[in-house]
């Protein structure tokens, strides 16, 4: 059986690629159709040609004449109208006639699907690569043109679910992009891969599952190993905090290179980046030497652990405090993709929410 394993793998890959292309094609056809229907509804309903309940009537009649038809509720028809009206700037000389409802000189009687093949400086692949519901969420939650393009590309590149997209919009990912000091653009040749890496990591993480009071220690007395143990014991929470697509490999992972031992604090694989991710924990303020150590770990992993088809490993320093401007300056000296983020343990966050000691005494005396 083993002699046919490679053949099975090759055929399986071809099937999966074909299925992915078919799904992408179906999605593109759907979006183009919805845009055309949205244009038709807009031109007739906004100009007063149709009565007040026209969209509800059309939706009911479509359901009656096409049993099992989905996606054409009155609400969705209105979403198609919004889809067209918000993107009609793309419409100039780009659409082709595909169907006519009735012979008429009125353009409102023609449903024409959108074609974006030759539109300059527009993310055509990403635009047609995400679902209509994703577009609806973006149009409802984001107003500026550039921000919409950002979320379309982000959604496509990171394969965000609708919930994931809504979360990124709520977090204002557009205005917070790239806040973690990193050198990804200069060290990752593929710009889309660099973009994914930039969006993957935050500049600061609240590790609220680490309660320093329960540990019986002040936060400043916690060393890296204590922090690491707490993260390992709460790995599910840490991964949920850190982001999407992370698979935990291990802590204090040992590698030997040319007779020298190396110990990686935390090692993950990220399915979206398709790369190993090293997280080095530091209890205090950022020091330039941390990047030298991390760069060496990435070098070893790149040489000895990276598998065929994977991207180069990415490294993150997770420390208590960092001067971002200084970090960005130091990062220029390194050729391995790295970033520096900070963390807060839960107890400090809790203390920030409580009144100070004098205020507490006043409250207690009331």
**Residue-by-residue pLDDT tens, the chain, 366 positions:** 556 666 666 767 776 767 666 666 788 888 988 998 898 889 888 877 788 888 899 898 888 888 888 888 999 999 999 999 999 887 654 443 333 333 334 444 467 667 665 566 678 888 988 999 999 999 999 999 989 998 998 888 878 899 989 988 988 888 877 679 999 988 998 877 888 888 888 888 887 766 544 444 444 444 566 677 778 777 877 887 788 889 999 888 999 888 888 889 999 999 999 999 999 988 889 999 999 999 999 999 999 999 999 999 999 999 989 998 899 999 999 999 999 999 887 544 434 434 455 554 454 454
pTM confidence score:
0.54
Do 162 and 226 fall into the same domain? no
Q: Is the separation of the CB atoms in 58 and 40 below 8 Å?
A: no
Asked which of 126, 151, 176 is the last residue of a domain, the reply is 176
* Same structural domain, 216 and 265: yes
Last residue in a domain, options 152, 176, 200? 176
Tally of structural domains, the chain: 2
Question: Is 156 among the domain residues?
Answer: yes
Residues 160 and 246 in one domain: no
Contact 151, 178 (CB under 8 A): no
One domain for residues 189 and 330: yes
Query: Are residues 77 and 11 both part of a single domain?
Result: yes
Domain assignment of residue 363, yes or no: no
Alpha carbon dihedral 101, 102, 103, 107, in 10-degree steps, equals -50
CA–CA separation, 128 and 46 (whole Å): 26
Q: 338 lies in a domain? A: yes
Q: How far apart are CA 281 and CA 184, in angstroms?
A: 20
Residues 133 and 252 in one domain: no
Is residue 318 a contact partner of residue 341, using CB atoms and an 8 Å limit? yes
Domain extent for 188: 184-352
| CA separation for the pair 26, 128 (Å, rounded) | 10
Whether residue 340 contacts residue 180, with contact meaning beta carbons closer than 8 Å, is answered with yes
**How is the chain split among helix, strand and coil, in percent rounded to 5?**
55, 15, 30
**Displacement of CA 366 from its chain's centroid (Å):** 49
171 and 189 together in one domain: no
pLDDT of residue 119: 62
CB 81 within 8 A of CB 44: no
Report which of 327, 349, 346 is spatially closest to residue 338, judged by C-alpha positions: 327
Per-residue confidence (pLDDT) for residue 29, from 0 to 100: 85
Residue 179 phi/psi, 5-degree rounding, is -75, -25
Inside any domain, residue 142: yes
Q: Is residue 331 part of a domain?
A: yes
C-beta neighbour count of 341 within 10 angstroms? 22
Q: Are residues 33 and 100 in the same domain?
A: yes
Exposure string of 61-92, with b = 16+ CB inside 10 Å and e = fewer, is eeeeeeeeeeebbeebbbbbbbbbebbeebee
* Residue where a domain terminates, one of 115, 141, 176: 176
SS3 category, 265: strand
Over residues 288-323, the pLDDT tens digits come to 999 999 999 999 999 999 999 999 999 999 998 999
Q: What is the pLDDT of residue 366?
A: 45
Q: In terms of domains, do 97 and 14 share one?
A: yes
Residues 324, 229: one domain? yes
Instruction: Indicate which CATH number applies to the domain containing 323.
Output: 3.40.1350.10
Distance separating alpha carbons of residues 176 and 341, to the nearest angstrom: 14
- pLDDT computed for residue 359 by the predictor: 54
Q: Is residue 360 part of a domain?
A: no
In a domain, 87, yes or no: yes
Cβ pair 91, 51 in contact under 8 A: no
pLDDT at 152: 93
- 44 assigned to some structural domain: yes
Decide if 132 contacts 34 (C-beta within 8 A): yes
Give yes or no: residues 148 and 237 share one domain: no
Q: Give the pLDDT of residue 181.
A: 92
Is residue 277 domain-shared with residue 322, that is, in the same domain?
Answer: yes
């Amino acid at each position: 059986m083993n002699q046919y394993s490679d053949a099975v793998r090759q055929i399986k890959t071809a099937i999966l690629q074909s299925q992915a292309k078919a799904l992408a094609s179906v999605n593109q056809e759907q979006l183009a159709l919805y845009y055309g229907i949205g244009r038709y509804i807009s031109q007739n309903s906004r100009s007063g040609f149709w009565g007040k309940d026209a969209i509800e009537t059309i939706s009911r009649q479509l359901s009656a004449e096409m049993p099992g038809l989905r996606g054409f509720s009155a609400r969705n028809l209105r979403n198609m109208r919004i889809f067209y009206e918000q993107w009609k700037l793309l419409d100039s000389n780009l659409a082709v006639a595909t169907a006519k409802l009735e012979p008429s000189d009125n353009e409102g009687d023609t449903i024409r699907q959108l074609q974006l093949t030759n539109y300059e400086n527009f993310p055509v692949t990403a635009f047609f690569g995400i679902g209509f519901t994703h577009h609806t969420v973006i149009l409802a939650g984001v107003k500026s043109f550039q921000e919409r393009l950002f979320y379309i590309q982000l959604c496509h590149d990171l394969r965000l679910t609708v919930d994931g997209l809504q979360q990124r919009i709520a977090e204002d990912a557009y205005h917070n992009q790239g806040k973690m000091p990193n050198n990804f653009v200069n060290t990752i040749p593929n710009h889309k891969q660099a973009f994914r890496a930039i969006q993957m990591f935050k500049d600061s993480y609240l590790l609220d599952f680490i309660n320093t009071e329960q540990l019986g220690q002040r936060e400043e007395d916690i060393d890296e190993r204590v922090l690491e143990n707490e993260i390992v014991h709460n790995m599910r929470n840490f991964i949920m905090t850190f982001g999407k697509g992370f698979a935990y490999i291990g802590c204090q992972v040992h590698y030997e290179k040319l007779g020298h031992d190396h110990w990686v604090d935390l090692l993950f694989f990220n399915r979206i980046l398709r790369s190993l991710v090293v997280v080095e924990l530091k209890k205090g303020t950022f020091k330039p030497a941390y990047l030298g150590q991390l760069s060496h770990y990435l070098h070893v992993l790149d040489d000895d652990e990276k598998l065929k088809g994977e991207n180069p490993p990415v490294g993150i320093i997770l420390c208590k405090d960092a001067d971002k401007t200084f970090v960005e300056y130091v990062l220029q000296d390194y050729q391995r993709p790295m970033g520096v983020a900070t963390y807060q343990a839960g107890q400090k966050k809790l203390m920030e929410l409580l009144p100070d000691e004098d205020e507490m005494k006043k409250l207690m005396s009331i």
